[in-house]
Every structure is written in C-alpha cells, then in structure tokens.
Structure 1
Amino acid sequence: MSLVTRTVRNALVAASTVAVLLSSTAAYSAEKVYRLKLAETWGANFPIFGDTTKAMAEMAEKMSNGRLQIRIDSANKHKAPLGVFDMVKAGQYDIGHSASYYWKGKVPNTLYFSTMPFGMVAAEQYAWFYHGGGMELMEKVYGPHNLLSFPGGNTGVQMGGWFQKEIKTVDDLKGLKIRIPGFAGEVLAKLGASPTNIAPGELYTALERRTIDALEWVGPGLDLRMGFHKIAPYYYTGWHEPATELQFLVNKQSWERLPADLQEILRVAMRLSAYDMYILNTHASAENWSTMKEEYPNIKVMNFPDDVMAAIRQANDELLEEQAKNDPLAKEILDSQAAYLEKAREWTLIADKAYLDSQAEQK
C-alpha cells in the first residue's frame, strides 16, 4: 500500500471517528430534559423542611447531568399548604412534599405513615419502611389515588408542644383547643380536647390571639424560629410523634413518563435528602436547645403527669383496637407496625437505651 493510499485511508478513519463522536455528543446534548413541578406545604425558604426539597432537586439535577429539573412552588406560591395531596393526585403538580397524616380526612389510612403515638423511633421506623413491609403497605394506600409515596425526611422525637397553662390532671385536657395533627389529635379528642390542624404559617398568630390554647410543632430546631416561647411558657416533652416522617408524593403518570434511569435518580435523591433532613434537624435542635436554655431560662420544660399519660395511652389503645376492627387494611398496617416494633425495640433497648443509661449512671 502506497503512502498516499495509507494517508487517505487514515484520514477517512479519523474523519469517521470524529463524525461518530460529534454525533454522540449532539445526541447527548439533545437528550430530552424532563421538567417537574413540586408543591410543598411549607412557606418559601422554610428551614429544614424546605432545605430538604431544595437538596432533593439539586441532587436530581446533578446526578442526571441536567436531564431532570424540578421547580419548587412553596405554599405562598400555590396558596394551598394543605392541598398538596389533591394537587399532585390531579396532576397539577408532579411531586409534593408534606406529611402523610394531613390527609386522614380524605384517606384515613394515610395517617399511619407519618408516626404513631408510643410507636417506633426514627431508626426503627426507617427499618420498617425499607425492610419490614412499610413501603408495600404505603403503596396499597396511595396506589388507588394515582399516587406514589416515599419517605421525605424525619424529625425524630417531637416535643409535646407549647401550652398557655400547665396540664396537671386529665380534666385540664377537656375543652383544650390544641393544634395537633394525626392520630394524636384523635386520642386527645377522646379525652375531651378540641384538636385542630392549622397550616404552619398561621400557627404563631393562632396561639397569640388565643384561637388555640396550645400547639405542637416539632422541637427546638424549628420551634425557636417560630417564637412560640414568647407567648406560651410551658414546653412539654413528647409522646405523640416519636418519629415523624414527612413524605414525597409523586403523581403516577409523572413517574411513569420518566425513563428508568431518571426514576432511579429521583428515588435516590428523595431517599438521601430525607436522611439529610434527619441529620440537619438533629443538629439544629441541639444548637437551638442550647440557645433556648441560655437566652430564655423562663421556659418551663415539663413532662405530662403520670395519670395524664396513663389516660392518653389507654385512649390510644382503645382507638387502635377500634380502627383495626373497622378496617381490614388499617388492621394490616397496625399489625405490621406492632410486630416490627416489638422485634426492633428489643434491640433498641439493649443497644441505645442501655448505653444512655450507663452514661447517665456514670455522671
């Protein structure tokens, strides 16, 4: 083969290679970009909860090299903080970020997937979701409503709330107007309280104007910013929400329109941002609790009296029995949670609690 022939052949090979590379690059750059809209229950720049949605959207965009882009509309934009379920179900939004127990009036069995009084702590509940059948049960509840639900961030054990007056006896609960969502609200209602659910942005005003007598929100990580300590001196420890899990709601059609790789990227982004929220809230609560002790020493941290707690637990057990009796799916969920709690709690006690007790004894 002559030098000219070889040169021509090499040139043709090189040109062909460049053409393939350019074609591949053009195809990749022209790959379809999927744009989703997310509605959150929280206001613009709401800390921790809002940080979670932003982190999820950023991770999804980076991992997809820009092919998956998520626009976040906060409550001040869509004007329906407690309407996220309906908006995502109808396809008005592709994704929602809220809390499952807000929908108990629409679909009663949704409330079991946030947290339950006297139930699992965060580590136990995450284990139940991902390894104990929780995700499958959640799909049974949300599937008929054109929705998928994924864990969306955990607060850990929440405080029992801010009260205008001290709770000394069970009678003090009668007629008490308290903002408290989920199953805990039903428990207190059974004892004579008047529970209500109020959007986050309206909580301070409701307490200040005495529209309500008490409220539970989260814990120091979020409560300090809300300013409840300025208008309600009693800060009670928790019983009602030992592992409050937020949720990402996803419209089924929006999910199915995504290619398989983007579905997996979205799934991973939601899971990682949920875990990050648990870490962030733990850090914020530690920081803010230190601030509260130093700057607001008049806050009275209280435990509910033993007889009040006994009455609350009895009411809770009676309501659980009633729910299980009247709804086969509720029974399946509650039985699953109870069985997993019994198994997991043995390890929690011999591990976490034993360690904490040993450290307390040494001090």
Structure 2
Amino acid sequence: MTTTRRKFLTAGAVAGASTLAAPAVLGQAPIKWRLQTYAGAALGEHVVKPAVDSFNKIAQGQMEIELYYADQLVPTGELFQAMQRGTIDAVQSDDDSMASPTEVTVFGGYFPFASRYSLDVPALFHDWGLNEIWAEEYAKVGVKHISAGAWDPCNFATKDPINSLADLQGKRIFTFPTAGRFLSKFGVVPVTLPWEDIEVALQTGELDGVAWSGITEDYTVGWADVTNYFLTNNISGAWIGHFFANMDRWNELPEHLQELVRVCFDSSHYYRLHWYWAGEARLRVEGTKMKLTSIPDEEWAQVEAAAREFWDEIAAESETKARIVSIFKAYNETMDKAGRPYRYT
C-alpha cells in the first residue's frame, strides 16, 4: 500500500512539473541576447566567458547569450549608445570606457584612490549605497544596471623605468579617460587607441606604456612581452566595472531568467576577485618578463594628496557627483580608522 501510494505521488509530481514547465520551454524560440565586453578575446576568456558559458548551460535552451569581444560589433566608445538603442542587448564595461552619458561616468574604471583593495568595490556598492545610485542614473537613460564588480589595480607597464614622478613627464600612456585626466597633472600624455592596437603601438613607439591594468592582464594579453618595467605603485586598487542591459530587453525576461542573469554575472565578479588577487602576487614574485620598479612612498604621497583635490573638483560638478564623493570619503575614513587588515598605513 505504501509503495503504491509513493508511486502515485511521484507520478503526479512529475506530471505536474511537466505541465507547468512546458509553456515556458516548448513551442517557443529561445531568447537570444548579444553581449559585448570591453575586453579582448584573451582577457575575455577569464573576465566574462566562464559566466556566459555557465548561463547558457543552466538556461537549458530557454535563453542564449552570444558573447562578443572588444570592438567586434561596435567600437568600445559606442557601447552605451548601441545598447541604449537595442543594437546590442547587454554590455560588460566600465562607465568611462563606453562613454556613458550619466552623472556616474567619471567614477567608472579607475577613479583615483577610491579603492585600495578589490573587496572595497563590492563593499561600496552593496553596503554603502552605490548600487542604488547607479540604478537610478541608468534607469533615467533606459538602461538596466545589473551589477558592479572589481577588476585589477591600475599600475604602469612601461618601456623605460619609472623610479620617480619626474620619470612620468611626457610619457605617452594608454589609459582610461578619467585616469588620464588625473595623470596629466603629473605630465602624462593620455592616448586613446582601439584596445587591439595597443601591443603594436608599444612596439612601434607610438606608446611609451599603459596604465590600464595590473600585472595579471599585462601577462594575459601580451603587453608584458612588449614592455620592460612594471611600477608597483598604483593609482587605484581596483577597477570598477559593470554589467548592463537594454531596459526593454531586461523587462521582457521572465523573473527566473532575470535572476539567472544576476547569479551568473555575480559568479563572474567572484571569479575575478580570486583570479586577479592571486595573479597580482604570483606574477610579481615569479614573473620573468618585466622588472619591478617603485616610486618612494614619501614622493608617491604627492599623488595621493592630488587625488583628494581631484575628488573635490569632481564633487563640485554636480549634486550626484558630490553625493558619491562623500560616500568614497566616508568609506575610506572608516577603513583608515578600522586599521589592519582594512588599511595598512
């Protein structure tokens, strides 16, 4: 009697599940999204492809994300516009690189000294209110801000050694817009080029170096092969990047697929936390392609002081920017007061 009852209940549950699941899968073409990342193929293998592959596997044919690397569909500087008008459905980038027309754009990528470590970024977004600000700003322009995460720090990789601030004078450096604006205060000449042209530009002498990444990316994408020195001082402990989607396409997704997008993209953020953290240390110690140089702490303190003045310049530009700068200030003051291991002074 017990066995019969168990079989009956099991059969009923399976039949019920099949009936409920069928309308969501059978007879419908899979939803397709085109996602373009700021990263080239070699870097994209780490910073986005595992998450997209995972999503496509778990979605079981209900939805598929097609992944495109830097500049494959549109130039990186046009990513925002293409997503806004629906030419592409989703983007992985920082605000700065994709020329976002929002109040938060200047804080994307490497906002000087806003973070010391990679964990500062998720802490700021999840626990200090930045998620809400980004969501509000992008909703105004028809874009869904899905999530933010940390990438690597911003160090210089150069052909000539950098041992003092004077060595930065006149150096033609590929970097992010806001980072370039800040570094120009120290004589750096910011250069903007398509990402895939950087290696050749370093070889031909069009560029003297890059301030785009940490040492992990330098090795991964080949820049360590065409530069000779790596400056251990950085202007930011972690790049701030995001996943975005066209708002209409996001709203068309059923709730369970929206949640799956979030979870898989969060897995991408997690992957980068340990991949970069491990790589930055291991390659400084075991890497053989670039010699490490450093600017003395007392001299580098001038750069940190200039960053705080730069924050105030940005805060004066708008109420929203002032609100974000105040969060950065309060957060970093708290970390300083907390001391080790949050901050080493």
Q: TM-score range by the shorter chain?
A: 0.7 to 0.9
Residue correspondences, number: 333
1:17–1:165 Cα change, 3 Å: closer
CA contact (8 A) 1:146 1:251 kept: yes
Q: Could you say what secondary structure the match of 2:126 adopts?
A: helix
Partner of 2:277: 282
Q: Is the 2:158–2:210 contact (alpha carbons within 8 Å) kept by the matching residues of 1?
A: yes
Tell which deviates more after alignment, 228-237 or 327-336. 228-237
Aligned to 1:351: 341
Which residue, out of 20, 24, 33, partners 1:36?
33
Is 1:216 matched up with 2:211? yes
Task: Write the letter of the residue equivalent to 2:293.
Answer: M
Which structure shows the higher helix fraction?
A: 1
Structure 1: stretches of 5+ with no match in the other structure: 1-15, 358-363
**1:147 alignment counterpart:** 143
3-state SS in 1 of match to 2:33:
strand
Task: Tell me if structure 2 keeps the 8 A contact 1:104–1:110.
Answer: yes
For 2:9, the equivalent position in structure 1 comes to none
3-state DSSP class of the match of 1:338? helix
Deviation at 1:168?
4.8
Counterpart residue identity of residue 340, structure 2: I
Q: How far apart, CA to CA, are the structure 2 residues paired with 1:222 and 1:161?
A: 12
The 5 Å alignment of 1:63-142 reads 63-75=58-70, 77-103=72-98, 106-107=101-102, 109-120=104-115, 121-142=117-138
Give 2:157's aligned residue.
162
What whole-Å deviation, never above 9, does each CA across 1:47-90 have from its counterpart, x for those lacking one? Answer: 3x443322222333344333221111223631523322221111
Contact 1:139/1:148 (CA < 8 Å) preserved in 2? yes
Once the two structures are overlaid, the 10-residue window that deviates more, 246-255 or 303-312, is: 303-312
**8 Å contact from structure 1 (residues 39, 96) kept in 2:** yes
In structure 2, what is the equivalent of residue 199 of structure 1? 194
Distance 2:132 2:13 in 1: 49
Classify 1:255/1:308 alpha carbon distance in 2 versus 1 (closer, same or farther; 3 Å).
Answer: same
CA distance in 1, matches of 2:13, 2:144: 45
Q: Does the 8 A contact of 1:178 with 1:196 survive in 2?
A: yes
> Are the equivalent residues in 2 in contact too, given 1:124–1:344 (CA < 8 A)?
no
Q: What's the CA shift string for 1:241-287, capped at 9, x where partnerless?
A: 21113211111111111112211111111112211122223334445
CA distance in structure 1 between the aligned counterparts of 2:186 and 2:18, rounded to whole angstroms: 72
Q: Kindly provide the CA deviation profile for residues 301-346 of structure 1, in whole angstroms up to 9, marking residues without a partner as x.
A: 1112446423323332222212211211110111112112222343
| TM value normalised by structure 1 | 0.80
Shift of 1:112: 1.1
**Which residue is equivalent to 1:7?**
none
Contact 2:36 2:90 in 1 (8 A): yes
* Partner of residue 7, structure 2: none
The separation in 2 between residues aligned to 1:133 and 1:326, in whole angstroms, is: 20
Instruction: Tell me the residue number matched to 2:259.
Output: 264
Contact conserved, 1:221 with 1:289, CA < 8 A, in 2? no
Q: TM-score under structure 2 normalisation?
A: 0.84
CA 1:132–1:31: 2 relative to 1, 3 Å = farther
Cα separation, partners in 2 of 1:111 and 1:22, compared to 1, 3 Å: closer
Aligned to 2:332: 341
- % identity of equivalent residues: 21
**Matched-pair contact (CA < 8 Å) for 1:151–1:248:** yes
For structure 1, which segment, 73-82 or 207-216, has the greater mean C-alpha deviation from structure 2 after superposition?
Answer: 73-82
Whether contact under 8 Å (1:57, 1:70) holds in the other structure is: yes
Provide the aligned C-alpha RMSD in A.
3.0
In structure 1, the residue matched to 2:318 is: 327
Q: Structure 1 residue 107: deviation in Å?
A: 4.1
Q: Which of 221, 224, 228 is equivalent to 2:223?
A: 228
User: Which has the higher Rg, Structure 1 or Structure 2?
Assistant: 1
Distance 2:284 2:167 in 1: 27
Judged with a 3 Å threshold, the aligned counterparts in structure 2 of structure 1 residues 23 and 345 are, in CA distance, closer, same or farther, namely same
| Letter of the structure 2 residue corresponding to residue 177 of structure 1 | R
Q: Which structure 2 segments of 5+ residues have no match?
A: 1-11
The 3 A distance-change label for structure 1 pair 270 and 243 is same
Which amino acid is 2:175 matched to? I
3-state SS in 2 of match to 1:217:
strand
Q: CA deviation at 1:137?
A: 1.3
- Contact 1:169 1:307 survives alignment (8 Å): no
**Structure 2: how far apart are the matches of 1:51 and 1:225?**
9
Q: CA deviation at 1:38?
A: 0.6
